[in-house]
């Protein structure tokens, strides 16, 4: 049996796919008009939104040098499942530092790859010449 969330996402995909553009409010209004929100999904959405707010506040907390106080790290709970844990640097272990450096390096590689693909697509579509800062001058 499909969960209400899976069904809702499928309905949203079919609603949004034909739209060529719109603000987030436009897409939300489209979903509201279609009546896709089940009570169970709305409760889960409220919880997710609360978590998003807490994450934003944790990310915004800075020390006197402007450095983030908390970082999000992957950890295992007592049942052995991976969970995200917010930790202050004073508690970091060498493993934590390795994990964070690896994360930021991979994120940079992803972002550079995405920028390169978008630059190439713009060139194909519009013959637009976009120089990427990490590429040599030429």
- The domain locations on the chain are 1-43, 50-90, 93-131
Phi, psi at 78, each rounded to 5°: -55, -25
| Buried/exposed code over 58-88 (b: 16+ C-beta within 10 A; e: otherwise) | eeeeeeeeeeeebbebeeeeeeeeeeeeebe
CA pair distance 20, 39, nearest whole angstrom: 29
Model pLDDT, residue 137: 64
Query: The dihedral of CA 100, 106, 109, 113: what is its sign?
Result: negative
Kindly report the pTM of this predicted structure.
Answer: 0.70
3-state secondary structure of 97: helix
Model pLDDT, residue 138: 54
Q: For 3-41, what is each residue's pLDDT tens digit?
A: 777 888 899 999 999 999 999 999 999 999 999 888 888
- Alpha carbon distances (Å) from 73 to 82, 89, 107: 10, 11, 14
Question: Which residues in the chain come in under a pLDDT of 70?
Answer: 137-138
């Amino acid at each position: 049996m499909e969960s209400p969330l899976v069904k809702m996402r499928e309905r949203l995909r079919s609603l949004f796919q034909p739209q060529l553009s719109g603000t987030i409010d436009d897409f939300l209004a489209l979903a509201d008009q279609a009546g896709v929100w089940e009570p169970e999904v709305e409760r889960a959405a409220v919880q997710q939104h609360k978590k998003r707010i807490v994450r934003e506040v944790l990310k915004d907390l800075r020390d006197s040098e402007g450095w983030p106080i908390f970082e999000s790290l992957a950890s295992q709970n007592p049942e052995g499942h991976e969970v995200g844990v917010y930790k202050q640097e004073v508690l970091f272990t060498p493993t934590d530092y390795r994990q964070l450096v690896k994360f930021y390096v991979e994120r940079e590689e992803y972002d550079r790859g995405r920028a390169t693909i978008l630059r190439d697509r713009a060139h194909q579509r519009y013959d637009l010449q976009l120089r990427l800062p990490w590429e040599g001058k030429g």
